[in-house]
Amino acid sequence: MALKEPRTELDIRYGEPDAVATAWTRAEGLLAEAELFWLSTVRPEGRPHVTPLLAVWADGALYFCTGAAERKALNLAQNPEVVLTTGVNALHGGCDLVIEGTAVRVTDEPRLTALAALWEAKYGAEWHFDVQDGGFAGGHGVALVFEVAPRTAFGFGKAPYSQTRWRF
| pLDDT tens digits, 145-158 | 999 999 999 999 99
Secondary structure of residue 41 in the 3-state scheme: strand
CATH code linked to domain 7-167:
2.30.110.10
**Contact (Cβ atoms closer than 8 angstroms) between residue 78 and residue 46:** no
> Residue 20's CB: how many other CB atoms inside 10 A?
11
Which residues are paired to 100 by β-bridges? 83, 152
pLDDT tens digits, 55-101: 999 999 999 999 999 999 999 999 999 999 999 989 999 999 999 99
Question: Could you tell me the pTM of the whole model?
Answer: 0.95
Q: How many Å apart are CA 98 and CA 152, to the nearest integer?
A: 8
Break the chain into its structural domains and give their ranges. Answer: 7-167
